[in-house]
């Protein structure tokens, strides 16, 4: 059943703000005045200056374009550059591109074209090199991937060459474009938006990265520890339906560069956008689920911290989910105002007001003046013998025995000898964790190899989104609503999702992993000598979470978290020097006197498993 909302119905009032010679008041929003059914639909192949498939010809990427045919002036562009338009699909309904018998694009996945083209925008969907109809090979976040989109931005600004065909053809210019581009996308697509923004390319006015990677190292590795999957596998997945190209050499480069030892090397440095965040000129509207175990939340935290531009952030309780599927009305309204401001120049004030919007409970959102919270303080918490966690100095030692067969949920409910738990005790007031935490350990391994893992845990009952479920916190219904205009080949209507909730007795709010052999350098692991103490600091995932009054905040430290990372060659016993072990946690609130943590009552909990699919 379909219900049509006002957001998807064409208005009859003309938006005259950008028509020459017409007197008007300052506009507040673009209006849907153009006929979507009459829109120009075309493909331009843009030369990106690479030869990834080694055929001796510069690679051209396919940019599928839909734009209003009646526009009397140039229009700005909303771009989504993706490797998934033929292999895996986009959005909750896994939409693919489609074409007519002449190769003209018909289906543009997602609602961006249906909603924004009638409002005076062009939508450009780019096939990354080596995918769908583009030449070349995927290089998983490298120069070819980034240039697949950057060169299209250049073409839209008259600085690159486009053609009417994949090979041969005639030159095509973008005389219809203002040159103002906003990039948007979830997961891999949002990652490319980050990468393009990090080049500082002129004409890119804003990006909207949703659940996006900021450093590919941190997608496949964590402070020397490995998650067990590698970029060559992803490359082969997205290249699978692009026949006639030989990408074996490029895939071998990915395989060899992603070394099994977990070290940070040249391959990862070339795909680390955080190091170039200072180049970003575009504004940023960022969205991420704080329970995303696919693109883990360290990605948004480190990217956000490196940006020095106008920015806003949405943080949901979901996993790897687009805000269109958990807060649809508000998200479309925000996108509309955001693109109007940064691409059309509408003075609507969207850049003002609270910087962050955070989901505290399922479907319950609060605005926050800043992220991290304005009153957060990096607080050093120290584990004490007896299981307490507080700010006072500590002494003594504690040991655990690494068991790679166990994971984080067992550590919380029944750690045994595999992990160590330290707690603040019952809180008398709410305690907010807002930002990125780090753990420093001084550890003595009994063998020549060791892994480290740490968790921050909210001990207490709650109703949360079931982020470990199949929908990662949402349930998709059968009723649809519509966002823009439809044609026979491109439907603007999407199934409505609701919150999938679960009662739990604890919530893991942040986690991190490391290889102790990288204690001195992330770029080169060093042999460990059994019986020797090593000090190492590693980050935990970024978050914004309130541990409520009556709950406790716990720090759990163990070896191999089998839910996520690979174990060492020789798992053994690890002893911590508690005087030189601590966690730096960004807190708003008061940490009470340390006390042993409350026992769990054995109720339900959320099993957490690492995910290796990037969609």
- Check residue 15 and report its DSSP letter: -
Sign, CA torsion 181/187/189/195: positive
Distance CA 174, CA 166 (A): 17
Pairing state between β 283-289 and 311-316? parallel
Distance CA 395, CA 158 (A): 65
Beta carbons of 452 and 559 less than 8 angstroms apart: yes
Catalytic residue (choose from 50, 320, 341, 545): 320
Task: State yes or no: is 292 an active-site residue.
Answer: yes
In 3D space, the residue among 147, 127, 19, 137 whose CA is nearest the CA of residue 82 turns out to be 127
Distance CA 167, CA 526 (A): 50
In 3D space, the residue among 369, 325, 313, 285 whose CA is nearest the CA of residue 543 turns out to be 313
Q: Where are the beta strands (DSSP E) in 446-590?
A: 451-465, 474-482, 493-499, 501-515, 534-539, 543-547, 552-558, 573-577, 582-588
What Cα–Cα distance (Å) separates residue 76 from each residue in 153, 345, 486? 11, 10, 21
Q: Which residue has the tokens 């890119």?
A: 204
Distance CA 139, CA 254 (A): 7
Beta carbons of 528 and 517 less than 8 angstroms apart: yes
How far from chain centre, in Å, is Cα 285?
12
H or E segment to which residue 336 belongs:
helix 328-339
Distance CA 450, CA 530 (A): 10
Task: State yes or no: is 336 an active-site residue.
Answer: no
Q: Which residues pair with 61 in a beta bridge?
A: 46
Catalytic residue (choose from 145, 292, 402, 409): 292
Distance CA 407, CA 580 (A): 25
What Cα–Cα distance (Å) separates residue 586 from each residue in 149, 278, 279, 458? 36, 23, 27, 15
Structure tokens, 352: 């003002």
Distance CA 520, CA 510 (A): 24
What Cα–Cα distance (Å) separates residue 400 from each residue in 104, 150, 417, 540? 62, 49, 5, 20
Catalytic residue (choose from 30, 86, 187, 485): 187
The distance in angstroms from the start CA to the end CA of the chain is 27
What Cα–Cα distance (Å) separates residue 96 from each residue in 2, 242, 403, 409, 511? 21, 14, 43, 37, 35
What Cα–Cα distance (Å) separates residue 571 from each residue in 292, 342, 418, 446, 518? 28, 53, 11, 9, 16
In 3D space, the residue among 561, 480, 479, 468 whose CA is nearest the CA of residue 514 turns out to be 561
What Cα–Cα distance (Å) separates residue 321 from each residue in 212, 378, 381, 601? 11, 29, 32, 31
- Is residue 254 classed as helix, strand or coil in its secondary structure? helix
Assign residue 290 a region (left: φ > 0; alpha: ψ between -120 and 50; beta: otherwise): alpha
What would the DSSP string read from start to end of 355-376? SEEEEEETTEEEEESSSS-TT-
Catalytic residues: 187, 292, 320
């Amino acid at each position: 059943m379909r219900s049509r909302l006002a957001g998807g119905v064409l208005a009859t009032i003309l938006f005259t703000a950008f028509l020459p010679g017409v007197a008007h008041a300052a506009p507040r929003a673009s209006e849907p005045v153009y006929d979507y059914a009459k829109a120009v639909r075309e493909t331009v192949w843009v030369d990106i200056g690479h030869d990834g498939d080694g055929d001796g010809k510069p690679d051209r990427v396919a940019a599928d374009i839909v734009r209003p045919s009646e526009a009397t002036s140039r229009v700005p562009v909303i771009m989504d550059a993706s490797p998934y338009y033929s292999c895996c699909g986009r959005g909750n309904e896994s939409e693919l591109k489609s074409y007519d018998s002449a190769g003209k694009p018909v289906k543009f996945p997602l609602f961006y074209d249906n909603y924004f083209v009638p409002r005076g925008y062009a939508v450009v969907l780019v096939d990354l090199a080596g995918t769908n109809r583009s030449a070349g090979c995927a290089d998983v976040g490298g120069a070819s991937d980034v240039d697949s989109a950057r060169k299209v931005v250049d073409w839209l600004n008259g600085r690159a060459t486009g053609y009417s065909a994949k090979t041969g053809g005639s030159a095509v210019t973008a005389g219809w474009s203002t040159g103002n581009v906003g990039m948007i996308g979830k997961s891999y697509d949002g990652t490319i938006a980050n990468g393009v923004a990090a080049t500082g390319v002129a004409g890119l006015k804003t990006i909207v990265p949703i659940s996006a990677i900021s450093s590919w190292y941190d997608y496949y590795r964590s402070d020397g520890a490995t998650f067990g999957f590698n970029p060559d596998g992803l490359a082969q997945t997205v290249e699978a339906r692009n026949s006639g190209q030989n990408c074996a050499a490029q895939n071998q480069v990915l395989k060899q560069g992603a070394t099994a030892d977990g070290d940070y090397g040249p391959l990862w440095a070339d795909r680390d956008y955080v190091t170039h965040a200072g180049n970003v000129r575009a504004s940023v509207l960022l969205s991420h689920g704080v329970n995303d175990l696919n693109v883990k939340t360290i990605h948004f935290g480190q990217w956000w911290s490196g940006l020095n531009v106008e920015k806003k952030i949405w943080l949901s309780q979901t996993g790897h989910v687009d805000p269109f599927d958990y807060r649809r009305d508000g998200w479309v309204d925000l996108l509309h105002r955001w693109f109007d401001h940064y691409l059309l120049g509408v003075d609507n004030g969207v850049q003002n007001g609270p910087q962050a919007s955070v989901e505290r409970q399922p479907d319950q959102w609060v605005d926050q003046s800043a992220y991290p919270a304005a009153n957060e303080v990096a607080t050093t918490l120290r584990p004490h013998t007896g299981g307490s966690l507080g700010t006072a100095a500590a002494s003594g030692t504690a040991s655990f025995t690494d068991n790679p067969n166990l994971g984080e949920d067992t550590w919380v409910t029944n750690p045994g000898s595999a992990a160590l738990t330290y707690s603040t005790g019952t809180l008398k007031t709410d305690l907010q964790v807002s930002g990125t935490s780090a753990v420093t350990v001084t550890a003595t391994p009994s063998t020549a190899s060791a892994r480290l893992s740490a968790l921050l845990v909210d001990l207490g009952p709650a109703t949360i989104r079931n982020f470990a479920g199949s929908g990662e916190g949402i349930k998709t219904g059968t009723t649809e609503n519509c966002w823009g205009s439809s044609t026979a080949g491109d439907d603007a209507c999407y199934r409505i999702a609701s919150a999938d909730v679960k009662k739990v007795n604890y919530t893991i709010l942040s986690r991190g992993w490391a290889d102790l052999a990288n204690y001195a350098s992330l770029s080169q692991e060093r042999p460990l000598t059994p019986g020797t103490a090593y000090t190492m600091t590693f980050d935990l995932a970024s978050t914004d979470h309130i541990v409520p009054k009556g709950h406790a905040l716990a720090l759990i430290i163990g070896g191999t978290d089998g839910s996520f990372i690979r174990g060492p060659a020789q798992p053994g016993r690890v002893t911590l020097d508690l005087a030189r072990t601590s966690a730096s946690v960004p807190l708003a609130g008061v940490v009470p006197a340390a006390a042993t943590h409350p026992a769990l009552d054995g109720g339900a909990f959320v099993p957490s498993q690492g995910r290796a699919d990037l969609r």
